[in-house]
Amino acid sequence: MKKIISLSFLLTLVLSCTTISRPIELYVSVNGASGNDGSKAQPFLGISQAINKAKTLKSENSNSEIIINVLPGDYYLSKAIEISSELSGISIVGSDASEVHIKGSVVLDSKWEKFNENILVTLVDEALDFDQLIINRDSQILARYPNYNEEGHYWQGYAADAISKARVASWKNPKGGFFHALHKGRWGGFHYEIIGVDANGEAILKGGQQNNRGSSYHKEYRMVENVFEELDSPGEWFLDKETHKLYYWPLEGVDLEKDYIEVAVLKDLIQVVGSLDNPVKNVSISNITFENTQRTFMEEFEPLLRSDWTIYRGAVVFFEGTENCTVTNSVFTNLGGNAIMASKYNKELVVEGNHIYNCGGSAVSFVGDPSAVRSPSFNYGQFVHFKDMDTVIGPKGELYPRECLVDNNLIHRIGRIEKQTAGVQISMAMDITVSRNSIYDVPRAGINIGDGTWGGHILEFNDVFNTVLETSDHGSFNSWGRDRFWLPKRGKMDSLTTAIPDMYKWDAIKTTIIRNNRFRCDHGWDIDLDDGSSNYHIYNNLLLNSGLKLREGFNRVAENNIMVNNSLHPHVWFEKSEDVFKHNIVQKAYQDVGLLGWGKELDYNFFPNEESMMKSQIYNRDMHSDFGNPMFKSPETLDFSVSEDSPALKIGFKNFQMDKFGVQKEALKKLAKTPEIPKIKSPSEENKNATVAWLRNELKNVESEQEQSAYGLNTAEGVILLRVWNNSPAVKNNGLKKGDVILKAAGKKIKTVKDFFKVNVENKSDKMDLLIMRNQSEKKITIHTK
């Protein structure tokens, strides 16, 4: 006999067996009270009270989901909020980032008196130690020389005599001052504290730990601050720590009796810290403005393997030993150091929809621990000998960030103090995705990958420009790959990588993808893959000014990119680098330097003219490439897709999206800038007075009667050797010399560089007979071409 069970009975049974878990909501308000219970009707006064209540609730039920709702107002922390693994599952949610401000500052209760005609002075609490003065939410200028100038380039104003003996002699007590200088090669900066003056009247300096490429500091690009005698212009201030007096020259419109005055006293605001064995999980931080923290450039810095970087392992919002945490829809501004950092073990951290600007250090950093790296070295010149090397592939441990996302953020004006910084920094990490970010107005790279360990990163749909503004020899994207295979002495490295051709994969175990981005750098390269960078796939990128640099490395595939007014820069490639460059549109000849080989495949590319294409055909490359006008659709609106009848399509180029670069979140997109529109150079303009590299020598056409006269030529025709490289095969063994003019090659008359390259392409020998003009006399010579 069948039993009939009623629907109502089933529902009763299900409901009786199911417990619906609702989040526990706590509230914090500037109008709350310390004795309140944290309900919406009786909110806590401080965030720390809510954190303590959450700990109690978690101790009663560790599975509780707790939301701390932070209501509008300014919240001044006495110490950083600490979130450990016992608080897993907690969310700190502001009502809106425009309304909720978590600050590392205190409000200054001051009574100002006149010090002189321009400067006012007030006593401050003896316990206060600060290096940021904020008035009406604007950071003021610490007394400095030279004076602050937003258009002053390096340091917003620089002077060679910043710490000259004459200047030091004008200071009564410079102890506690700070000296800032660029690296001699402008590869980042150095920072020092002045701790005294020696018997010779020279400043005694302590510091310089902020750069991993040791050098003397730059002779010209210098600045000094926090010296009383340099308080000489509106907006500047100085704190005398011995007398506890604060001096300030008010800006026009500032009323110190009525205006809101704050000073920064904390370095960090939220610390989410667990461990590999007991990580903090599922913590969410959103809709909050973080602001007003101390500068960190004199903290302890550590080298990031053999990259040029050292870094302070700390940030305003700091994650270590976490899983599935998020920072979303927040604002980070007026910060003295790094904004957000994922240190050591972090999995699936998401940084999304944030606005990060006016920060002293980097915006978002992923930094693993060297304990996870096999046979690590920590300086450009250091390396582990092969006989002592751990030869196992991949990471040694688990203390590194992985599977994290930086998406849809607006990042600009970072690195305001520290110059070895980036919008997104990645070192000793794996599978980091950086997408849909607008990054600009930065002193060094917009995105930087410090080493090959361990790859798998995806960079896509970013808009990165106005970069390398206060340094040099870098790119909007920059990377290094000084991994186990990389040695500072090239000969030994060539031998090692020839013997073990896939050694680069020991550390760069996964391919890093750079796709669908827009880059522009006016002070380096749009994309700069520097020393050793290996295992990259670079495609569908729009490079607006300075092209693609690939220094020595392995297995870089670059395809279907557009390089406006520029080209590929292959530098010192290995003989068997396995590099591929195809289906790209370039607008110059390749800018090669010191190649031992020309890669695995360079072909099916589109050049502006025949001369630029023929240069690589000398080396049996680009034999199926073409040249001409790519027929860009609308370059004046930054649309560089090509028209349907473009000849570039015939060599395999395919159009890609031109309207999805950068931040897409509507509120941030309205604020974001876009790069300057480049003026397209015509092939004839490009060739006018242009020089071309050949076997590392520099050539140009004879183009004027003045040149004809200067070189003693019968006609204004021929190819001039402007510069020569002494180790070039064409120069050695009594070959070509600087100032020679090539008139014939292999018996054929040479009128232009194009003619000369045609002969080179046809020449199958490793020698070539030339007729040259040297010292106004014709001379026959035979040169080597290989």
> Is the model's pLDDT at 17 over the cut of 60?
no
Instruction: Tokens 């909110």: give the residue.
Output: 43
Q: What is the pLDDT of residue 688?
A: 53
Distances (CA, A) of 615 to 397, 639, 653, 695, 783: 47, 29, 21, 10, 18
List, for residues 512-524, the tens digit of each pLDDT value. Answer: 999 999 999 999 9
* CB contact burial 128-144 (16+ within 10 A = b; e otherwise): eebbbbbbeeebbbbbb
Query: How open is the CA angle 680-515-431, to the nearest 5 degrees?
Result: 150
CA distance 232 to 170: 14
> Is the model's pLDDT at 756 over the cut of 80?
yes
Q: What is the pLDDT of residue 20?
A: 54
3-state SS, 274-299, equals: CCCCCCEECCEEECCEEECCCCCCCC
CA distance 299 to 210: 9
List, for residues 295-339, the tens digit of each pLDDT value. Answer: 999 999 999 999 999 999 999 999 999 999 999 999 999 999 999
CA distance 753 to 732: 21
> Is the model's pLDDT at 742 over the cut of 70?
yes
CA distance 637 to 15: 60
List, for residues 679-717, the tens digit of each pLDDT value. Answer: 998 766 555 556 788 888 889 999 888 899 989 999 999
Q: What is the pLDDT of residue 73?
A: 98
472: left (phi over 0), alpha (psi -120 to 50) or beta: beta
Which candidate, 153, 230, 233, 219, places its Cα nearest to that of 185?
Answer: 219
Q: How confident is the model at residue 10 (pLDDT cuts 50, 70, 90)?
A: very low
List, for residues 153-191, the tens digit of each pLDDT value. Answer: 999 999 999 999 999 999 999 999 999 999 999 999 999
pLDDT: is 610 or 323 the higher one? 323
- The answer, as to whether pTM is greater than 0.75, is yes
Residue 402: Cβ-neighbour burial (10 angstroms; 0-12, 13-18, 19+): buried
Beta carbons of 337 and 293 less than 8 angstroms apart: yes
Q: What is the pLDDT of residue 594?
A: 84
List, for residues 44-53, the tens digit of each pLDDT value. Answer: 999 999 999 9
Element (H or E) spanning 10, and its range? helix 7-17
CA distance 742 to 745: 7
The pair phi, psi for residue 709, each rounded to 5°, is -70, -45
Residue 251: alpha-carbon gap to chain centroid: 34
Mean pLDDT of all residues in 438-456: 98
Q: What is the pLDDT of residue 292?
A: 98
> Is the model's pLDDT at 2 over the cut of 90?
no
> Is the model's pLDDT at 1 over the cut of 50?
no
Which candidate, 335, 340, 244, places its Cα nearest to that of 297?
Answer: 335
Beta carbons of 83 and 283 less than 8 angstroms apart: yes
Average pLDDT of the chain is 94
Grouping H, G, I as helix, E, B as strand and the rest as coil, residue 524 is coil
Mean pLDDT of all residues in 540-569: 98
> Is the model's pLDDT at 464 over the cut of 50?
yes
CA distance 285 to 92: 5
Beta carbons of 210 and 443 less than 8 angstroms apart: no
List, for residues 403-413, the tens digit of each pLDDT value. Answer: 999 999 999 99
- The token pair at 438 is 């607008």
Alpha helices for 110-181 (secondary structure H):
165-169
List, for residues 180-221, the tens digit of each pLDDT value. Answer: 999 999 999 999 999 999 999 999 999 999 999 988 999 999
> Is the model's pLDDT at 104 over the cut of 90?
yes
List, for residues 424-434, the tens digit of each pLDDT value. Answer: 999 999 999 99
Beta carbons of 95 and 71 less than 8 angstroms apart: yes
Q: What is the pLDDT of residue 14?
A: 46
Distances (CA, A) of 642 to 509, 560, 631, 635, 659: 36, 12, 5, 10, 14
